[in-house]
Amino acid sequence: MKMSQFRGYNANRREVMRGLTAGFAAALAGGSPSFAGTGASYADELWAKTKESLSSGGFRMDLNLHSWEGYTEEPVLAPFQQDTGATVNPQMLISDPAAVNNLRGGGTATWDIINLNNAWQRKMLYPEGLILPLDTAKFKPLYDMNVAGFEWPYHWALDETGEKLLGMIQRYGPSGMAVNADAMDPATLETGGYMEMIEGAAGQYGILDYENWVIMHTCMACGFSPFRKHTEAEMETYKEMIFKVFNNAKKVSDDQAALARDMITGEIVGTFPGSVYTVSAPRYEGETQIQCVVPEDGIEETKTADNPKGQAGIIWIEVTSLVANPEPTPLAEAFLIYCHTPEAAYRVAAKAPGTLNPVVQMGDPTVLEKFGSDELEAIQWGDGGAWLEKDVTRCIDFDINPDYDAMHDLYTEAKRSRA
């Protein structure tokens, strides 16, 4: 069914759908469908029961998905479409802020599912009524699959009260810099920090131009968190640093594959910033000299007695939520459940175009065993997940930058000044 065909749905149809959802919830709450398993077994059982509940039909059969690349491709979508008979219309994001404003600008009438980096759901989308909370009873057990650090109750998946579940978490990754280990010793960056790239490799590095990430990592290079209000002195420091970042760069591109190729050919030694998701594709192709490095010595404000080294990188985690679409479809909730089945979770992680990413469900052995050694090598998993965990612990959580507007102005000025 095409999108135009559901625009005419009336209140009766909505009532039918509400009835379907309520019936399913009642069935779960009433205990008639019981669940024997936990973790991945629970996910499989829940998915089987969800498919059964969908078989009666009577609701909109298209699902409109606005998300990062992990969920927009055939290996993930085809089994879901085959199992449910749904037509999934995916649209890939170009940036979190753009997607948020798409929803604000009336996109709730278009989209059923929104997949963004953390923070937006809790701080903007839910308070503004753009997304709906999930059924906690149904989804909470899925958190048993997650790796350490992402267990229930997970901060970024909940609202400010901690009572409403705003979405499901899946792909994540630490972000610092990327380097060709044959051209520059990763240990230099690890111990020396961002300035080893910005000043030490002046004229030899590329900027991976995802604009908000350049801004965030420039703040970290300045020695302060991007995710709080900044003093005038800090803004001045930021200005000086962002101009330096651009003036010292050899090239600027938002094409991570092109920059990876430049690293492989020796055209550049590394990128600022760089993340596991930007190096995983070349690593999967055997170019394991391309690495993501998170500096070990963090910014002062993150140093504590428990963590004296603090944190220097930034970790992102995607949260997938139900859009407050005035004409909802139960397929949206079903899709979230489907993505937690071991095979789908693996595909979300490993079958996106041009990137492989860890998913939190790798905490469940049934999911983890689906990954080949080359795929684990690509995502810098390490022995028992130790490499990835080390980088993750060196990162602060992605959040919203309250000075983003002013910093973006300075970013664009610095970028233009390269000429």
Biggest CA-to-CA distance, the chain = 68
Window of 92-100, 109-117, 306-314, 342-350 that interacts with another protein by CB under 8 A: 92-100
Extract the tokens encoding 193. Answer: 């920090």
Residue 404 to residue 409: CA distance in whole angstroms = 8
CB closer to another protein, 301 vs 413: 413
Residue 83 to residue 16: CA distance in whole angstroms = 21
Instruction: Using CB under 8 A, count the residues that bind another protein.
Output: 37
Q: Whole-number minimum distance, CB 249 to another protein, in Å?
A: 7
Answer for which of 29, 94, 187, 202 binds another protein (CB under 8 A) is 94
CB closer to another protein, 56 vs 417: 417
CB closer to another protein, 216 vs 221: 216
C-alpha dist (Å) from residue 262 to 252, 266, 290: 11, 6, 11
3-state secondary structure of 272: strand
Instruction: Output DSSP code: residue 57.
Output: -
**Block residue for tokens 């690593």:** 283
CB closer to another protein, 262 vs 399: 262
Phi–psi pair at 198, nearest 5 degrees: -65, -40
Q: Whole-number minimum distance, CB 68 to another protein, in Å?
A: 15
CB closer to another protein, 99 vs 168: 99
Binding pattern for the stretch 381-410 against another protein, x by CB under 8 A and - elsewhere: ------------------------x--xx-
Q: Whole-number minimum distance, CB 262 to another protein, in Å?
A: 8
Q: Do the strands 168-180 and 270-275 form a parallel or antiparallel pair, or are they unpaired?
A: antiparallel
Closest CA to 165 of 208, 133, 206: 133
| Residues 6+ away with beta carbon under 8 Å from 321 | 113, 114, 115, 116, 121, 125, 131, 132, 134, 166, 167, 168
Closest CA to 220 of 144, 125, 294: 294
Q: Whole-number minimum distance, CB 318 to another protein, in Å?
A: 18
Q: Whole-number minimum distance, CB 324 to another protein, in Å?
A: 17
Answer for which of 18, 104, 155, 228 binds another protein (CB under 8 A) is 104
Answer for which of 101, 191, 304, 307 binds another protein (CB under 8 A) is 101
Binding pattern for the stretch 252-291 against another protein, x by CB under 8 A and - elsewhere: xxxx--x--xx--xxx------------------------
Q: Whole-number minimum distance, CB 106 to another protein, in Å?
A: 9
128 binds another protein (CB under 8 A): no
Residue 73 to residue 91: CA distance in whole angstroms = 10
354 binds another protein (CB under 8 A): no
CB atoms within 10 A of CB 235: 15
Q: Whole-number minimum distance, CB 105 to another protein, in Å?
A: 5
Window of 24-32, 91-99, 286-294, 365-373 that interacts with another protein by CB under 8 A: 91-99
Answer for which of 87, 89, 95, 288 binds another protein (CB under 8 A) is 95
Identify the sign of the CA torsion 106, 107, 113, 114: negative
C-alpha dist (Å) from residue 51 to 24, 47, 84, 118, 217: 11, 6, 7, 28, 43
C-alpha dist (Å) from residue 269 to 189, 272, 363: 12, 10, 34
416 binds another protein (CB under 8 A): yes
Q: Whole-number minimum distance, CB 103 to another protein, in Å?
A: 10
Binding pattern for the stretch 188-217 against another protein, x by CB under 8 A and - elsewhere: ------------------xx-xxxx-----
Residues that bind another protein (CB under 8 A): 94-95, 97-98, 100-101, 104-105, 206-207, 209-212, 249-255, 258, 261-262, 265-267, 405, 408-409, 412-413, 415-419
